[in-house]
Structure 1
Amino acid sequence: MGQFLCSHLRRRYLPLSHLRRPTTMIEAILDMTNRAHARDFVRRDPHRPGYHFLPPANWMNDPNGFIQWRGEYHLFYQYNPAGPWHGHIHWGHAVSKDLVHWQHLPIALAPTPGGPDEEGCWSGCAVDDNGTPTLVYTGVHTGVHPQVVCLATGDSDMRTWRKDPANPVIAEPPAHIRHRTGGHFRDPFVWRENGRWEMLIAAKIENKGSVILHYRSDDLRQWEYMGTFLEGDVRQIYPFWTGTMWECPNLVDFGEQRSLIFSVQANPRDHLYVVHYTGPYRDGRLHARQQGILVYGGYFYAAHVARVADGRHILWAWLKEGRSEAACQQAGWAGILSLPLELTLGEDGEPRLTPARELTKLRRVHRRFAGHLPEDAIRWDTAGGSLEIVARFAPPTGEVGVVVLAAPDGSEETRIVYRPELAQLYLETNDSSLAEDVDKNVQVAPLALASGEELELRIFVDQSVVEIFTNRACLMGRVYPTRSDSVGIRLIAGPGATGPVTLDVWHLVPNTLFVV
């Protein structure tokens, strides 16, 4: 849910009228005018991404309910239509035919005054219930057990949604931990198996850590508690700290192997990550043999996975901001989603993430550079702020990498550096901006190459976003250059770095988002 990271400001920055549907022609015209004003306002922000998914304005966090339905992809997300802060959480909704170009639709879910979701419609998933699209989500209210499980069903084109009169379908945690959760009981993930519905839901046990709970149902409305699926220990620090609360569990079926993917809630500045537990799945139990961090960098959170018609597992995640609350207020928006990513299982049994193949549709102008390190200095001062870069290095014998979003005089630049002696990839943002109110942390991902293995860096730059995919590791961050000419790229070749290198650069076009 990510609420531990969210500001709770209450200033209404953008007076958007679509908190409710317009009922007259005049209201409809005013509604369109306000939305057009909001779009024009936020587009003035030079840090607003062009090809990453985000709403027209205001706050977003977790992706929810991604599903392929009748030839279209539907994506829902946590959304505050009142302003760029966390609060008044609704489910935003968009549709696409290709995972790349998205059309915004009216809000799918809004809090019902006096209802089990009166304080917000929080994270969940979408399923096909025998031809009926169904949203399973977290309702938040002011009762003794403030987080509950609710349902909503849609019409055949998924444009209209009706909340189930049986809500909440799960009104409280199981008895043995009911008074030890501190109100933390959320983020249902539902799938169909052996003719029945299975659910995982995240909860917290005070003074112990988090727990993933397992439920089963025949009809999505009457649920039987089956026990704990996985228990955490707040004392565990190896191979990573498992934190104080887990969120957004997903179970991904790779056949004989499955991956439990969830987000670790801990220190919001230093410990923000998505992890996997992977292994055989037998008799309703996951026998995890491997575990690890899925993406490094501290910005990637609340991952959400769904399988599409061609068999691929597509993963989305929330990328939080790295600038101040005041800057987000001034810009009129906060939060984006990662690129759509394909999740596969590597030969080593570790999950792998690669950008969805559809993203190549965004490519336009292409330039290719080829040379030999260290004598060939490859540099392009006017490359741009919306790019895809593929750099291939001979097996590294010294420090190599790519600089992006660089000013001609070097006063601003973001460095992506591989250091073979440390077997680590670095995203160095300490010189990424002249602004004082933005993150400038150095982020690190482990990356051990085999003897004689080339290094490939596939880098997506989108104004304030940098996503890096390598032979095995993924690293992502947010950067906020202040200069309009901080759009250059160049290669890095440290002492001892030799061998051939190629650099392919594409300009990427915005994935124009239409508002209806």
Structure 2
Amino acid sequence: MSYQEKHRPQLHFTPKENWINDPNGLVYYEGEYHLFYQRNPNANDHADMHWGHATSTDLYHWEEHGIALAPDELGTIFSGSAVVDKNNTSGLFENGSGGLVAIFTHDGESQQQSIAYSKDKGRTWTKYEGNPVIPNTKIKDFRDPKVSWHEDSEQWVMVLACGDHIQFYGSPNLINWTYLSSFGKEYPSHIGVWECPDLLYLPVENSSKKEWVLIVSINDDGPNGGSAVYYFTGSFDGKEFHPNEKSEDALKWADTGKDFYAAVSWDNTEDTYWIGWMNNWQYAGVVPVSPWRSAMSLVRKMSLNEVGGDLFLKQEPIITDNNKEVISYQNIDIQTDTTKSYGISDTGQVNLQISKTSASTKWGMKFVTDQNEVFCLELNKAEDTYTLYRTEGLTDFSEDFPEEIKGSLHGLDVQELQAIIDRSSVEIFLNKGLSVSTNLIYPKGTVVQLEIFTVNEALQIENITCTNLNSIWK
């Protein structure tokens, strides 16, 4: 049955069939959130890149559409972005009206930046006859344009991935672009290629401040191996980005899991939302699913939070299920070396509110299947880490898949924990998304039980909420 295959996500966007990767062209326009994405409509591997298309009214339920952009004489269609040209700066729309403009990479003899425009809410697209708008003859990896309007300098600003650094371009009209500056050659990591940049202006919670954030995806050398997303906070003056982080030790990872990559944000929204590709280039082509391959993460609302004088991304998942089944438990005491168990769904979420823990507290939770497979999350305050043990279930398709996946607690007590389980993934959000870990799992059975344990000290939990979520495909 369609959308009910083994390991098919029920809470995350997947195409009906065939390959997808990076989210592209994220834009909100006239009541719809558009999700374009890298797409091979003919096979289950990374080849023959098109832009696929889906829309949503709530960032949770999605409707898949047909191909938006297809290859042409300039090459296949690699990643990019889309904006609302509401003032018709491009002159591509009649009578001064605005519309949608997509900015993308043509991957041919070299990688070049091109544009297309839509006059019917993104359903059909016309490629600009003067493409490419930014030609390239020198840089091998020259791709993934992310464009937004910069109010202070009154121009469109593009951030572009250039192998081992980011380049900034400015334009008054989305057609004529001027090089502004470069950033990043002095920063690691350069083991992998820099990809899918984004430039955000985010509020700092509990203050009136906002700060610029430069997003960079790197296709190798992530904190747990392979693909990952890191970010810099700082200032942007319309020409140059100036980071707060001054050394490689200050690099910040947006998600320390194995399976969150190429994340970019929506244009034309009041709050800032983003989504990532839920996979890793180490094994993306061999994950044991069919007839589709790959999913998107849940959408997340973004902000910044100050911790110990430093700024960290905060990501809160968007779930809009009006018919969910919720079961709550209050005031639970778990003694040392004991476990308490609760029935859960393999398409649901678990929320914990924790009383203050001491410096030595080591505790966690296990997601257990009806075939006694265990996926364990362990939190160790003394070491300031959390670890997801992904060593059971189907793992033999790649030596890089079975892992003990670690992340940082940023020196904080874990007071709130949210875990979202969806047949072939677990997304962990600690302290309302200050620490995040997204990971694929492929259990042979079905997750049916939650076990909460403590190792060396009693644990007091104020509240446990287990929520069964309905499929977004019903």
Structure-2-length-normalised TM-score: 0.86
Of stretches 97-106 and 247-256 in structure 1, the one that deviates more from structure 2 is: 247-256
Shift of 1:242: 4.6
Seen in structure 2, the aligned counterparts of structure 1 residues 435 and 274 have a Cα distance that, compared at 3 Å, is closer
Are 2:303 and 1:336 equivalent residues in the alignment? no
Q: Is the 8 A contact 2:426 2:440 kept in 1?
A: yes
Q: Aligned residues, how many?
A: 438
Give 1:366's aligned residue: 326
Assess, with a 3 A threshold, how the Cα gap between structure 1 residues 186 and 164 changes in structure 2: closer, same or farther: same
Whether 1:122 and 2:103 are equivalent positions in the alignment is no
Residue of 310, 314, 320 corresponding to 1:353: 314
Deviation at 1:267, TM superposition (A): 4.5
User: Residues 476 and 185 (structure 1 numbering): CA distance in 2 closer, same or farther, change over 3 Å?
Assistant: same
Measured against aligned partners, the alpha-carbon deviations of 1:203-228 in whole angstroms (never above 9, x if no partner) come to: 12xxxxx1111212222112122231
- What is the match of residue 70 of structure 1? 30
User: After superposition, what is the alpha-carbon deviation per residue over 1:46-90, rounded to whole angstroms, capped at 9, x for unaligned?
Assistant: 211101011111111000111110111111011111121101111
Determine the structure 2 residue equivalent to 1:284: 239
Summarize deviations over 1:297-341 as a string: whole Å, max 9, x none.
1211101112443x211011101168684554x622211111100
Decide which structure has greater helix share: 1
Q: Evaluate the alpha carbon distance shift between residue 407 and residue 127 of structure 1 in structure 2; reply closer, same or farther with a 3 A threshold.
A: closer
TM-score, structure 1 length as denominator? 0.80
**For residue 17 of structure 1, what is the aligned residue in structure 2?**
none
1:361 shift after superposition:
2.3
Identify the match of residue 464 of structure 2 among 463, 478, 503. Answer: 503
* One-letter identity of the residue aligned with 2:179: Y
1:489 aligns with 2:450: yes
Cα separation, 1, equivalents of 2:284 and 2:74: 33
RMSD: 2.3
- In structure 1, distance between residues paired with 2:279 and 2:427: 13
Mapping 1:97-246, distance limit 5 Å: 97-112=57-72, 115-117=73-75, 120-129=76-85, 130=87, 131-141=98-108, 143=109, 146-172=110-136, 178=138, 181=139, 183-193=140-150, 194-204=153-163, 210-228=164-182, 230-233=183-186, 236=188, 241-246=189-194
Pairing partner for 2:199 from 251, 261, 281: 251
Q: SS of the counterpart of 1:346? A: strand
CA distance in 2, matches of 1:192, 1:61: 26
Distance 1:473 1:454 in 2: 10
Aligned residue number for residue 34 of structure 1: none
Question: In the alignment, is the contact (CA less than 8 A) between 1:339 and 1:355 conserved in 2?
Answer: no
CA distance in structure 2 between the partners assigned to 1:167 and 1:409 by the alignment: 55
Query: Between the two proteins, what is the percent identity of the paired residues?
Result: 26
Contact preservation (8 Å) 1:308, 1:314: no
Deviation at 1:511, TM superposition (A): 1.1
SS for the counterpart of 1:496 is coil
Deviation at 1:128, TM superposition (A): 1.4
Shift of 1:402: 1.5
SS of corresponding position for 1:487: strand
> What is the DSSP-based 3-state SS (H/G/I as helix, E as strand, rest coil) of the residue aligned with 2:14?
coil
C-alpha distance in 2, partners of 1:502/1:388?
A: 14
Equivalent pair of 1:362/1:511 in contact (CA under 8 Å): no
Residues 203/77 of structure 1: CA separation in 2 closer, same or farther (3 Å cut): same
Q: Secondary structure at the match of 1:99?
A: coil
The Cα of 1:378 is off from its aligned counterpart by 2.6
Residue 401 of structure 1 is matched in structure 2 by 364
Question: Quick check: 2:229–2:260 contact (8 Å CA) kept in 1?
Answer: yes
CA spacing shift, 1:242–1:127, aligned 2, 3 Å: same
Asked if 2 retains the 8 angstrom alpha-carbon contact of 1:435 and 1:482, the reply is: no
**Alignment CA distance shift 1:287-1:502 (3 Å):** same
Provide the rounded CA distance (Å) in 1 between the counterparts of 2:296 and 2:275: 7
Correspondence for 1:37: none
Residues 109 and 434 from structure 1, CA distance in 2 versus in 1: closer, same or farther, beyond 3 angstroms? closer
What pairs with 1:427-506 in structure 2 (closer than 5 Å)?
427-430=388-391, 432-433=392-393, 436-437=396-397, 439-450=401-412, 453-471=413-431, 472-484=434-446, 486-506=447-467
CA contact (8 A) 1:399 1:420 kept: yes
86-95 or 219-228, larger mean C-alpha shift: 219-228
Equivalent position amino acid for 1:59 in 2: W
2:219 aligned with 1:262, yes or no?
A: no
Shift of 1:354: 2.7
Are the equivalent residues in 1 in contact too, given 2:21–2:277 (CA < 8 A)? Answer: yes
Q: 5+ unaligned residues in a row in structure 2: which ranges?
A: 88-97, 203-208, 246-250
Would the aligned equivalents of 1:362 and 1:508 in 2 still touch at CA under 8 Å? no
